[in-house]
Structure 1
Amino acid sequence: MLSHEEHIKLLLKNYYEKAELILPDDLYVREIALQPVDSENYIRHLSFPSIHELRSFITKKIPRHLYYSSARYQEPANPSMDEKKWMGSDLIFDIDANDLLQCKESENIIQFKFCKNCGYISFNLDEKNCPNCNSMLNKFEHVDPYCIELSKDYVKKLMDIIERDFGFNNYEVVFSGHRGFHIIVNLPIEYKFMTAEERREIVSYIRIEENDIKAIISELTNYDKIKHYISLPPQLIDGGLRRRIAIEIAKRCNNKAIHNFVMGLTQTINYHEVREFYKDLLNIIYEIVKEISIPIDTKVTMDITHLIRVPNSINGKTGWIAHAIKNRDLENFHLEPSMLSPFNNIKMRIKMLIDIPNIKVIDKNFKYKKNEELIIDASYATYFIFKGLAKIIDIKN
């Protein structure tokens, strides 16, 4: 009978022998990095001339996590970052469901520390060692599927900005296989060499930091009662931030004249109509500006050497596929076993290492006790296994 570790290796090896990994056409100028399934350390500065050579390598050195660099290098295998000779980078965005304010302030995120050896659980995230056996504690974080569905709305808004405001159309949308989405933009040649600081400007435009909100609101609500001067509402045809704000105003506006002006159906509007609307706008403008803010990961977008999880590789935190979304069709992407798991026709007998609180995984609720054994579909079992909460006893095809 195979051990827990041998089962995992065999599952991943079988997957990577046939996996349709999505890799850039210029793979030969990208750094490849991976964490072997049997190691805590990463192997960096790898380079392969083709996917054939890469596949040959990863079916021997089986990865828990597999990445390629957003950067292109003349010498991608050079161990010195300064000597790789940078040749520009893709533009990367990362939206994680655990960063959404709606989820941070609710019970949709569960976090605790646990001991694999004795099953001790602590909700003190600063605790490092088990008080019972002195083993190092592991961190568990669970994000409810509701939050992942919610993050799709932010991805759609980001796609709108990428296409309408930036004019970029060559990009991929990928579910990370864990708790969020990656967007990989293959930039036109004139933008590939943007510096980290230039990419920081993109981050500021998308996130709209708190420091910028006051200035934006001041511009939109400029009103001089004596001079009879008032700012016109933004329109969809304005572009940029004004276009993004106009979209949200149109959703909330009950005044037909204002709505038609914002939508660009009319180009003139009565001063008194605007003045009445101004009173309503003061009550909702902060909410609107916060609504158009998108919580992308600042460091990821600024990093010109960022490592991208290979689309259609397996995420070693869940055992799920980093699913490349065909035609960027988010409407038809849902958290369901057939999309997430490469092991849909397999059942696993697993043993729980700790007490599992009531959590929802994909579309089912689970609650188990330490040492409890159960047989469940692999799409759910791998979540507990790769999170370190359970061990494989047997696999049934």
Structure 2
Amino acid sequence: MSDNRDGGHPLQAGIIVLLLVGGGWYFFRNYNVDGLDGVRISSKDNRPFDDLESPFTFTSSTEEGTTRYRGASIRGDDSLRPSTARPSSDFAVASDFEPDPIISSPSDIHSVSRVNSLSRRSRYAPAQLRVASWALDGFGPTKLASDLARKNLVRVIRQFDVIALQQISSLQMDLVPRMIDAINESSLGGGAPLYDYVLGPPTGPKDRGEQMAILFNPARVRVDRSQTYTVADPDNQMTYDPLVAWFRAAEPDEDLAWTFTMVNIRVDLSRAPREVALINQLFKSVREDGRGEDDVVIAGLFQADDAYLLPVVAGPQIRAAVTSTPTDIFGRHQTSNLLYDQGSTAEAIGRGGVYDFLRVYNLSAAQAQAVSSYLPVYAEFSPLEGSPLLHQATVPATTPR
């Protein structure tokens, strides 16, 4: 009797070699291995956005496209009046990015056939857009220099596609560009999204002036810088001038992409009743600023909860992203929110709320307060123009990362 304990049967060895070779061939033919610092395996057949452009090169946005006092204005008679801002085709994210034509149409319901056409032409339907607002509670150079504050600022902002920021110190005019540099430097090599920004001029009392900014992921939305403006308020009815920017979803075809106006607002606590009473007129004024855009999202620090806001705004179709939920880290008050008209903004899918980054990142109140004593608030919208009911089969649901 022969002894095969040392070598095994040659046929068995051959079968094992064939299986290993065949398995390796199948793996490398159907899968990619992405990343250097953390291996992530993804199927080649399911890679989203294969036709996206190469990474963007960012330029400073501090002065570009931010024109003080144009588009809409607040008059002494408490009415907000539009001016003659004209639509243009300047959607862009950097100086080397070719502008795309703006689609300036109302949120009418697109036909099911067009949605089915999108499904046939696109290998991957874009995810919902997460639009957010965050009051940064006097964010200045000291906070940006703190490793703890900077780390938590970066990872919170990355959860959203567009985020309006209030209460940024204007003592150093390069603070927001350095904030963006911190976000993008930490993204390099790790696959995280890069961000750009729209920045308003200093506003509010000179002794405690602030800036308001809107940060965004250019792979998800594009901004028309020529249509960015600060609402005029010659009679100082609002302490802080609202910042307005015009966006378009970047991933869908242009004739299907959602376009919207975002208004970044900051209400002064000592004048809250009077300033909140102007919001209804602000909605109307921005809609009528000459661009033909009826989808308006007002995001910011309102210094009032939804139970007070909605009756004062007095629109039966006005909805708030946050209802009956505190928006500060101590769970005491609701002061931040996003408002939109459900009648015209059919892209709203009714999902949103407060992003409790203390719980998500297991932070103490002191660690969270190093960034801000406020929590971000957000709402989700379909990136496709029109009712999300027509698109729900092609657009996957998302939750904050």
Bin of the TM-score, shorter chain as denominator length: under 0.3
- Whose helix fraction is larger, Structure 1's or Structure 2's? 1
For normalisation by structure 2, the TM-score amounts to 0.22
Q: Which has the higher contact order (CA 8 A, sep 6+)?
A: 2
